[in-house]
């Protein structure tokens, strides 16, 4: 029978965990505790200070800038979207040391994008296979040899950029059916320097004493009978009726602390589940859930922040793309021996008045893993030489400061976001999202619930996917306890996912 005042613990204070906790409070649950392993909240929505600016080391894109997107709505309501600047122009450079005609490059890029963003349905193919085949068809249809070469190199750039979007090392490992179930919310919006403030919005009005930092969880014991003595402040009559309260879940922290609960919502990353799931849960997770954790891939991207005294790029430029003229769409994959070839995309943090002169270089997959092991001096020298080759002059200076993200080596995240490998259907994420069903305590339903972007086949890899997964689990518990929330606190999209 459902308890009147259940104790709910949320593991992880990323966007999924914070959104679950916030919505549980809106439903009227008053015994909600959030445990966060690190010293900071926000998870993969994160920031740091570089120079005089606060920069997003984690998520910085709203994937779907429309009223359908709850992240867009939250940032818009707060007024933050009024600060989003003009994104500037796109500049393209060749490895031969000259500028590429932007009009041609943009047209070719759009053609490649239309091919690579194909939404496959049960094809069983890889994205790499599809992209190489379709782009080759376009190349073969051209008559001019020079145009073929130029088109081919831009198509390769599109493929490399897709590796960054996915966080993968090889398009031939990525499923063509990746977006089979995806909800398209509209165009993406770069909110660099603003996204991290979403965390403050989610924390607003949440009791500080219910958020416990530096509480790394080592074990989640469930389907048990764990006892807690009644509170000293409990009414005498209630205490006499039930001397000891029983809980089905016990969360054990690394510091030895044990927290008992009726329900736990696990929001840790897929990367952490891959590393810890076999030892984290007692009893073990069901075989089908472990298989999903094993099958899904958890990618990585690195951002390299380069701060300069003066900009060497033109004032109106917002992005810089580097094109290798000998690249082809079929050759798109990473090679650690030539890692610098996968540093082809740079974004400029704008406006200059807020950020100064900062370039951000982006790298995917195992190249991102490699960069995490390099020193600042190694990176600075390699990137500077790289830029000199493309810009065709030697007066590009070393950055005055450099900072690279380290998501793979972060023990509480172990990567950036989920992607679907070839042969894996997105429906497996539904299996990952299913709550655990106990056997010894059949009356204690929904003991362990799961949230996070990896549990959302419609929006995985996105901030709104994480947020809505937290809402989903809060809704699940509210339905279990027959609670209703203030209609103004919900989002209409919750019912779609």
Whether 115 and 332 have beta carbons less than 8 Å apart is answered as: no
Is 37 annotated among the ligand-binding residues? yes
| Three-class DSSP category at 345 | strand
| Three-class DSSP category at 427 | coil
Q: Catalogue the E-assigned strands of 135-216.
A: 188-190, 211-212
Distance between CA 497 and CA 493 in Å, rounded?
7
329, two tokens: 């769409």
Q: Residue 240's Cα: distance from chain center in Å?
A: 49
Whether 306 and 361 have beta carbons less than 8 Å apart is answered as: yes
Whether 48 and 446 have beta carbons less than 8 Å apart is answered as: no
Q: Residue 20's Cα: distance from chain center in Å?
A: 17
Q: Give the length of the chain.
A: 497
Question: How many other CB atoms sit within 10 Å of the CB of residue 470?
Answer: 28
| Three-class DSSP category at 140 | helix
Largest Cα span, the chain: 90
Distance between CA 405 and CA 384 in Å, rounded?
18
| Three-class DSSP category at 440 | coil
23, two tokens: 């919505």
Please list the alpha-helical segments (H only) found in 352-486: 352-355, 365-371, 376-391, 428-433, 463-480
- CB within 8 A of 120, min separation 6: which ones? 130, 175, 176, 177, 178, 179, 180
Give, for 61, the enclosing helix (H) or strand (E). strand 61-63
Distance between CA 461 and CA 44 in Å, rounded?
11
| Three-class DSSP category at 8 | strand
374, two tokens: 């390099």
The residues facing 321 across adjacent strands are: 92, 345
Whether 269 and 43 have beta carbons less than 8 Å apart is answered as: yes
Is 217 annotated among the ligand-binding residues? yes
- CB within 8 A of 496, min separation 6: which ones? 183, 458
> How many Cα atoms occupy the beta-carbon half-sphere of 316 within 13 Å?
3
Is 129 annotated among the ligand-binding residues? no
User: Per the annotation, where are the binding residues for FAD?
Assistant: 36-37, 217
User: Per the annotation, where are the binding residues?
Assistant: 36-37, 217
């Amino acid at each position: 029978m459902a308890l009147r005042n259940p104790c709910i613990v949320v593991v992880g204070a990323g966007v999924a965990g914070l959104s679950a906790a916030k919505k549980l409070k809106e439903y009227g649950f008053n015994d909600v505790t959030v445990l966060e392993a690190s010293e900071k909240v926000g998870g993969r929505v994160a920031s740091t200070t570089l120079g005089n600016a606060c920069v997003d080391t984690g998520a910085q894109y709203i994937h779907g800038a429309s009223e359908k997107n709850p992240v867009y709505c939250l940032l818009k309501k707060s007024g933050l979207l009024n600060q989003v600047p003009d994104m500037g122009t796109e500049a393209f450079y060749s490895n031969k040391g000259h500028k590429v005609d932007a009009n041609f490059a943009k047209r070719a890029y759009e053609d490649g994008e239309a091919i690579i963003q194909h939404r496959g349905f049960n094809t069983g193919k890889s994205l790499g296979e599809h992209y190489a085949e379709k782009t080759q068809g376009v190349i073969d249809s051209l008559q001019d040899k020079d145009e073929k070469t130029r088109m081919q190199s831009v198509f390769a750039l599109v493929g490399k950029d897709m590796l960054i979007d996915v966080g993968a090392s090889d398009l031939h490992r990525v499923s063509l059916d990746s977006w089979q179930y995806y909800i398209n919310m509209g165009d993406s919006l770069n909110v660099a320097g603003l996204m991290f403030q979403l965390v403050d919005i989610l924390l607003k009005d949440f009791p500080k004493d219910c958020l416990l930092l530096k509480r790394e969880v080592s074990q989640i014991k469930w389907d048990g009978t764990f006892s807690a003595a009644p509170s000293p402040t409990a009414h005498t009559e209630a205490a006499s009726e039930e001397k000891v309260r029983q809980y089905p879940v016990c969360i054990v922290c690394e510091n030895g602390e044990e927290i008992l609960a009726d329900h736990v919502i696990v929001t840790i990353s897929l990367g952490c589940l891959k590393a810890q799931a076999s030892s984290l849960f007692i009893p073990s997770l069901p075989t089908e859930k472990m298989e999903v954790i094993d099958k899904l891939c958890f990618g990585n991207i690195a951002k390299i922040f380069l701060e300069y005294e003066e900009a060497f790029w033109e004032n109106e430029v917002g992005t810089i793309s580097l094109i290798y003229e000998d690249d082809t769409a079929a050759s798109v994959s990473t090679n650690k021996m030539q890692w610098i070839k996968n540093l082809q995309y740079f974004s400029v943090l704008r406006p200059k008045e807020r950020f100064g002169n900062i370039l951000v270089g982006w790298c995917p997959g195992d190249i991102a893993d490699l960069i995490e092991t390099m020193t600042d001096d190694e990176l600075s020298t390699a990137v500077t030489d790289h830029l000199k080759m493309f810009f065709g002059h030697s007066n590009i200076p070393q950055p005055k400061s450099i900072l690279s993200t380290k998501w793979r080596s972060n023990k509480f995240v172990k990567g950036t976001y989920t992607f679907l490998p070839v042969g894996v259907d997105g429906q497996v994420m539904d299996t990952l999202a299913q709550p655990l069903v106990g056997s010894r305590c059949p009356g204690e339903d929904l003991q362990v619930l799961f949230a996070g972007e990896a549990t959302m086949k419609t929006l995985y890899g996105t901030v709104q996917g994480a947020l809505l997964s937290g809402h989903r689990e809060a809704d699940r518990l509210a339905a279990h306890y027959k609670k209703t929330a203030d209609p103004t606190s919900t989002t209409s999209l919750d019912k779609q996912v």
